[in-house]
Each structure stands twice: as structure tokens, then as C-alpha cells.
Amino acid sequence: MADHAAHVPGLAHHFVSMEQQKEAGTIGMWLFLLTEVMFFGGLFLAYTIYRAKYPDGFLQGSHLLSVPLGGLNTVVLIVSSLTMAMAVYYSQLGERKKLLGFLTLTLILGTVFLVVKYFEYAEKFQHNLFPAYWTYNPAADHPPTQYHGQVQVFLWIYFMMTGLHALHMIIGIGLLLVIMFMAHRGKFTKEYNSPVEIFGLYWHFVDIVWIFLFPLLYLTGFHVGGGH
């Protein structure tokens, strides 16, 4: 029977040891990330098929996106992955102040990403470059923009993919706040810090998805010297 006098802080009752608990949590998160790959995978499939079908539309559509803003967001996320990795490192050393510091930096960077995304989306809505406008605008008897249907296909793919990604960022920031709260309360020690690492896996994953999205959506036909 479990010896309650020897209760290890942070160890759930159905686990035999901290190692088992950590292993279970880590495998669990990797499996969950695998489901996320399959989830986003459906959209990547749609992207592949429609880009092959409508190369011009995708080229033109990609020109509508701002490479500087997208590039900034890419750098922001990569740096946030670095700060997250540092946070994991300090959690394993049991250094609470540094842990909280790097978690805060990660939070700020994640928020910057979302703010930039907001401005990008707002600009699209302003120019009627959002799919729903084309069918729901009863006053228009011609398409609200001069762009043809192929560009519209690109745009709904852009919104679905980046929208789903942004949703995962929002969820990630929510979870990050939970981790920060736990860190603030001093829950993480040298012995028990796996939630930080496991959350880190999720954060890195959301970053990696963006690293695929950025070139596929923003950099179609992009040439370094010759401009877009």
C-alpha cells in the first residue's frame, strides 16, 4: 500500500514514482502534439492541392501579405522559444526568479505576436479581403475587390491556417499564465518541474507550425534581391 508518510510533493497517487509520472506526462504531451500535426495536416493538404491548382492566385495572394510583419512575427516566435527553453533550464535548477523572468519574456513575445496578427487581420478586413464579404455583402453587385477567385481561395486558406494557429497561441498564453502562477507560488523545485518542460514542448510546437506557415503563405515567389 502507498506509504502516506513518505508522500512526495507533486506526485499523483496512482503513480509509483516521480520518474514514472514525468515519463507519462512527457509521452502524453508528445502524443498530443502528434494529434496536432494531424489536425493542421488537413489544412496543409488543402494548401498543397489548391496551390498546385491555382499557382497564379497563390502568387498574387501572397503579395497581399506583409513580409516584414510576417518576418517580425517569425523572429518574435523563435526568440520566444529561446526564452521558453531558458525558463525550462532554470526550472530544472530550481531558480524561481530566473524562471519567472524568462516565462514573463515568453509571455510578452507571445502577446507581441498576437498584436501584430491583429493589425494584419484588421488591414485585410478594411480592404474587404476576407472570404465572408463576398457572399454576405448584399449591396455589392460586383466583387468588392479587383482580385479574382483564385486569390480568394488563397485568402481563405490564409485565414484558416493562421487563424487556427493564432487560436493555439491564445490557448498557449492561457496555459503559460497558469504555469507562471504555479511558478510564482513556488510549486516548481529541482525535483518537480516537469510541467514547465511539458508546456515548453507545446510552445515549441506552436512555434514550429508558424515556421512552416510563414514561408508557405508569405514567401511565395519571394526573391531576396529582386523584391517580391
Binding-site ranges for another protein (CB under 8 A) = 1, 12-16, 20, 23-24, 27-28, 31-32, 34-36, 38-43, 45-46, 49-50, 53-54, 57, 131-132, 134-136, 149-150, 152-153, 156, 160
Angle at 22 (CA atoms; ends 21, 23), nearest 5 degrees: 95
Query: Could you tell me the smallest distance in angstroms from the CB atom of residue 126 to another protein?
Result: 18
**Shortest CA distance to 217 belongs to which of 81, 39, 40?**
40
Q: Amino acid identity, residue 10?
A: G
Nearer to another protein, 20 or 189 (CB): 20
Q: Which residues pair with 227 in a beta bridge?
A: 223
Nearer to another protein, 12 or 75 (CB): 12
Question: Measured from the CB of residue 46, what is the shortest distance to another protein in angstroms?
Answer: 7
Least gap, CB of 108 to another protein (angstroms): 30
CB of 14 to another protein, least distance (A): 4
To another protein, the closest distance from the beta carbon of 156 in angstroms equals: 4
Considering beta carbons, is residue 101 or 143 the nearer one to another protein?
Answer: 143
Instruction: Find the shortest distance in angstroms from Cβ 204 to another protein.
Output: 19
> How far is it, in rounded angstroms, from Cα 176 to Cα 114?
14
Closer residue to another protein (CB): 27 or 108: 27
| Residue closer to another protein (CB basis): 108 or 167 | 167
CA distance 107 to 138: 42
Cell 503513480 sits on residue = 15
User: Is residue 223 helix, strand or coil?
Assistant: strand
Residues with Cβ within 8 Å of 116's Cβ and at least 6 positions away in sequence, in order, are 69, 72, 73, 76
Contact 155/129 with Cβ under 8 angstroms?
yes
| All cell numbers assigned to 222 | 519571394
